[in-house]
Chain A
Amino acid sequence: MTNGRQIDKAQRVVVTGIGMVTPLGIGREEFGGRLFAGETGIAEIASFNTNAFSSHLGAEVRNFNPRDFISVKNIRRMDKISLMTAAAARLALNDAGMQITAENRDRVGIVLGTAFGATDITAQFLQTLFKDGPASVNPILVPNTVMNAAAGHTSIELGFRGVNTTVTHFAVSAENAIAYAAAEIRRGTADFIFAGGADILSEFYFQALTKFHALSPQNGKEESCRPFDRDRNGTVAGEGCGIICLESLRSAEARGRHPYCEIKGVGMGSSPIRPNVWPRNPDGIQQTLHRALKNAGIAVHDLQAIFAAANGDTHLDAAESEAYSQIGGSPDEQPSIMAMKGVLGESFSGGGIRACAMALAIEKKSLPPTAGLEHPLESLAFVKDEKKGLEIDNAALAGISFGGTYCYLILGR
């Protein structure tokens, strides 16, 4: 992937379909419409009672009716994360103009990223085990306690029999999944891979996040998600699933499909910090971004936009914004920076949803606005209002995780 122009079309990986089930909407029309209009998916949590907590906001998926997407016979075996994943994958499949047949199904795969999997089912299972004893455990729940359940159910529902993998590496789960999927397409082990991320907001998980002091409000300030803002005070918990359909440029052209964008480069890295803490300095972030640029064969000034990882956390946002402020290049050459978690919350595998947003942005030649940003940490080219008429040759998707893991993807037209 070192020089996109010179590589043959079988080696170039493109995005030809997107599908999402998100707090901002389901499917590209609703999601894209609300995202670019600057609407928010954050509201008072409705699916469980938050009275006992200091945080009450969440970015929940609403009005999701699995029956619109999934066959009745499979629905009853599926849990929330599997339903969202199968629905998003079906949307991506339809958007890509694909149909699964006996001829192509062995070469269609899914690579899903999930940070925490089915935390609702795991809690339910353990509750029965400890309260009522081993004899009361429900075997029907068992398959869904495993993190690869969502990809497994999705494959059964849609008939994907090729490469099937679940990546779970906290907040880079989706980015790592997409990177792996792109590599598999290039290696020729599959013709189509549906890749992205899915995580859900469960009560137990929400409670754990509050106990780990991850959520807004902190410092006695108002509860809100304000990425890169000096007044940020923690993130807001989110959920959702975003899936992109990857195939080679040769395959897309043969099918007469115009791709949204190309996956031009991947960079991965880490910094040796303690597990569970967000990075305290920009070193690993910068190093990884530069690896991705090098992998794509481009320089900083070739980058028009960065879809940031910032989520309102004190340390994450400071480290990420410092990294971009030292990225090099003259001020007018610096990439536009936008953060989506102000409207989507932090779902940890939200890189899948952000990848869908990037595909739309590249197609629309427009960057969606960043919500919740009033007093930026650094004077970077933040996209406060929708930025229109921008040819996006190259944009970076930032994957940054607590525990010091990074994955940057370079997407472009």
Chain B
Amino acid sequence: MKKRIVITGMGTLNAIAGNADDFARALQEGRCGIEVIDLFDTGGFRSQTGGQIKRFVPRDHIPPEFSIKRTSRADQMALAATIEALRDAGLYPLPEALKEKTGIALGGGAGGLLEGEEFYKDYLSHPGQNAKFSALASLFCASSTDCIASVLGLTGPKSTFMTACSAGATAIGCARDFIADGHASVMITGGVEPMSRLTFAAFNALKSVDPETCRPFDQDRAGLSLGEAAAIMILEPLESALQRGAKIYGEMLGYGITCDAYHMTAPDEQASGAVRAMRTALQDSGLTADDIDYINAHGTATPVNDVTETRAIKEVFGKRAYEIPVSSTKSMHAHTLGASGALEAIVSVLAIRQGFIPPTVNHRQSDPQCDLDYVTSGSRKADLRAVLSNSFAFGGNNTTLIFGKYSEKGAAHD
């Protein structure tokens, strides 16, 4: 029989909340964090807005005994969310005996690019001068994984995934497997994505950003809003969670990964990759379409994504597609790219645990091609048995995660 794996702790920093409890409140209130960015100069770009983490003071989250010298904003965000998640799970400080059985799998994005860009700007403007290459010490996203493992003293497995906008979801899937395959007993998993000029310039150059605020599934949607976040969850086998009397948020039931093999930046309009990702995840979870009570959509608010995703949901769920609430919480916390799959995994698990369906905010005008229930007039109370969360990415990468309400008998057997 398949090993049951549960979520026992969560931590996050994002544009609408500084921790997981606050995040649950923000989601229920429909708080929108998409505002003018002041992290760097946005002059000359199509958009000046995004879901930036405002007033981030690393030392408010990270104890003084942990050195954060030469770490990037991304490292610090990830570390802060990890400490929160471990504390939430009752595993902080991490017991000595657990250190060799605790692993970490993160989805990354721009990593230390924000700091790297400062360096590169300097390097270009003073050619031949001795630029401080040490500014690149934490450039790549695997640095955040190494930083956390080093600070916590872990000796378990480490891995970092970079599949653009599905990285955080992919990492959680892999973390589940690390436990299922016996490589680790506790996994710290999730994703981190800091804002950077390169990312901002890239999405602006592609004209895939909304100059104002993203409006998922709206007729007038004009693109996504970029954001940043750290989102970490703690996974462990059900047995050990029960044994130590841990709070059980929910169960990680399954995942599916597929590829469009169609176009680098545009989704396949037939939505084959998205359909197969959802079906694979259902199969892996041992569930059917009837068991899903809420879909946390990828819902970027680009004209093509929202239509394609809607089509894919209809293909997988048939008539039931019209009965399942579907929302894009990116309308509140923005699109956090490498972290988004993990951030929305936290949304899904909070929704299950606290019994609500988060809304799609900023919605004004219905699009005839997007005709599902997008929860556009505020959050709802609901008892959710299982939640499906989609993440689709550049490169044609699709990852779908499924989480379930914890019950002794197993998901969807209440």
Contact = CB atoms under 8 A, between A and B. Distances in A.
B120 interface: yes
Given A106-B276, A153-B264, A270-B158, A164 B205 contact: no
A168 B276 contact: no
Contact of B152 (A127, A272, A403): A272
B183 interface: yes
Interface stretch (B8-16, B130-138, B313-321): B130-138
Contact of B259 (A126, A164, A180, A407): A164
Contacts of B177: 180, 183, 187
A148 to B, nearest CB: 4
Given A165-B163, A183-B181, A269 B157 contact: yes
A103 to B, nearest CB: 14
B329 interface: no
A177 to B, nearest CB: 9
A130 interface: yes
Interface in A165-219: 165-170, 172, 176, 180, 183, 187, 189, 207-208, 211-212
B264 A270 contact: no
B121 A148 contact: no
Given A269-B156, A271-B155, A272-B153, A130 B174 contact: no
Interface stretch (B228-236, B373-381, B392-400): B392-400
Given A152-B264, A164-B397, A404 B149 contact: yes
B145 interface: yes
B174 A180 contact: yes
A283 to B, nearest CB: 8
A150 to B, nearest CB: 9
Contact of A272 (B154, B198, B273): B154
A156 B262 contact: yes
Interface stretch (A13-21, A135-143, A240-248, A316-324): A135-143
Contacts of B204: 134, 137
Contacts, number: 219
By CB atoms of chain A within 10 A, which of B125, B136, B141, B397 has the most? B397
B124 A155 contact: no
Nearest to A150: B395
Q: Contact size class for B? A: 35 or more
Given A77-B264, A164-B395, A208 B161 contact: no
A159 interface: yes
A81 B154 CA distance: 33
A152 B397 contact: yes
B258 A162 contact: yes
Contact of A404 (B146, B151, B284): B146
Given A155-B396, A165-B397, A168-B141, A117 B258 contact: no
A159 B201 CA distance: 30
A180 B159 contact: yes
A129 B157 contact: no
B197 interface: yes
By CB atoms of chain A within 10 A, which of B197, B202, B204, B256 has the most? B202
A322 B153 CA distance: 22
A125 B396 contact: no
A104 interface: no
Nearest to A211: B133
A161 B273 CA distance: 7
A406 to B, nearest CB: 9
Contact of B197 (A77, A129, A159): A129
B78 interface: no
A274 B143 CA distance: 10
Contacts of A123: 120
Contacts of A122: 198
A412 interface: no
5 contacts: A138-B205, A164-B259, A167-B159, A189-B256, A208-B133
10 A-B pairs with the lowest CB-CB distances in the bound complex, closest first? A152-B395, A268-B157, A164-B259, A211-B133, A403-B146, A143-B264, A147-B162, A155-B261, A275-B146, A134-B44
